[in-house]
A and B are shown apart, each in its own frame.
Chain A
Amino acid sequence: DTAVSQTPKYLVTQMGNDKSIKCEQNLGHDTMYWYKQDSKKFLKIMFSYNNKELIINETVPNRFSPKSPDKAHLNLHINSLELGDSAVYFCASSLQARRTGWSYNSPLHFGNGTRLTVT
Chain B
Amino acid sequence: DQQVKQNSPSLSVQEGRISILNCDYTNSMFDYFLWYKKYPAEGPTFLISISSIKDKNEDGRFTVFLNKSAKHLSLHIVPSQPGDSAVYFCAASSSGANSKLTFGKGITLSVRP
Contact = CB atoms under 8 A, between A and B. Distances in A.
Interface in B81-113: 89, 91, 93-106
Interface of A: 4, 35, 40-45, 48, 55-56, 90, 92, 98-102, 104, 107-113
B18 to A, nearest CB: 24
Interface of B: 2, 32, 34, 36, 41-46, 49, 51, 89, 91, 93-106
B44 A43 contact: yes
B98 A90 contact: no
Specify the main secondary structure of chain B where it touches its partner: loop
A43 B93 CA distance: 14
Contacts, number: 63
14 contacts: A41-B106, A42-B103, A42-B104, A44-B103, A45-B100, A55-B98, A90-B44, A99-B97, A104-B51, A108-B44, A108-B46, A109-B45, A110-B44, A113-B41
B93 A102 contact: yes
A45 B41 CA distance: 19
Given A4-B43, A104-B49, A113-B43, A56 B32 contact: no
B101 A45 contact: yes
A30 B6 CA distance: 30
Give 10 nearest A-B pairs by CB, closest first: A110-B43, A43-B103, A101-B99, A107-B46, A41-B105, A101-B96, A112-B43, A55-B98, A110-B44, A42-B105
